[in-house]
């Protein structure tokens, strides 16, 4: 009787684990990321329509004291 009870418990836990793993896999497989919303502030920069890509300065890079890379335009 005790062995039967342990076997049922093991099968039940294995089934529950399988169900949880299948649920997580389904969420990962069928959920698609949403594009981030467009920021209104970016559209209100003065003269944005008149910017020429060739006139935008090159990106400069420098390492901070802790080694983290920082990028800037001058």
Is 61 in contact with 69 (CB distance < 8 Å)? yes
Residues 21-36: tens digit of each pLDDT: 999 999 988 887 888 8
> What pLDDT, on a 0 to 100 scale, did the predictor assign at position 31?
81
Secondary structure percentages of the chain, helix, strand, coil, to 5: 55, 15, 35
Residue 12 placed within a domain? yes
Higher pLDDT: 46 or 14? It is 14
**Euclidean distance between CA atoms 22 and 13, whole angstroms:** 14
Extract the tokens encoding 31.
């959920």
Residue 2 placed within a domain? yes
Average pLDDT over residues 34-53: 74
Residues 3-17: tens digit of each pLDDT: 888 999 999 999 999
Q: Structural domain of residue 3, as residue ranges? A: 1-33
Total domains in the chain come to: 1
**What's the sign of the alpha-carbon dihedral 59, 61, 64, 69?**
positive
**Euclidean distance between CA atoms 56 and 44, whole angstroms:** 18
> What pLDDT, on a 0 to 100 scale, did the predictor assign at position 43?
66
């Amino acid at each position: 009787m005790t062995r039967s009870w342990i076997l049922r418990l093991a099968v039940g836990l294995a089934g529950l684990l399988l169900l949880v793993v299948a649920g997580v896999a389904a969420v990962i497989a069928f959920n698609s990321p949403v594009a981030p919303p467009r920021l209104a502030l970016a559209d209100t920069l003065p003269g944005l329509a008149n910017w020429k890509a060739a006139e935008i300065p090159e990106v400069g890079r420098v390492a901070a004291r802790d080694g983290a890379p920082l990028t800037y335009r001058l």
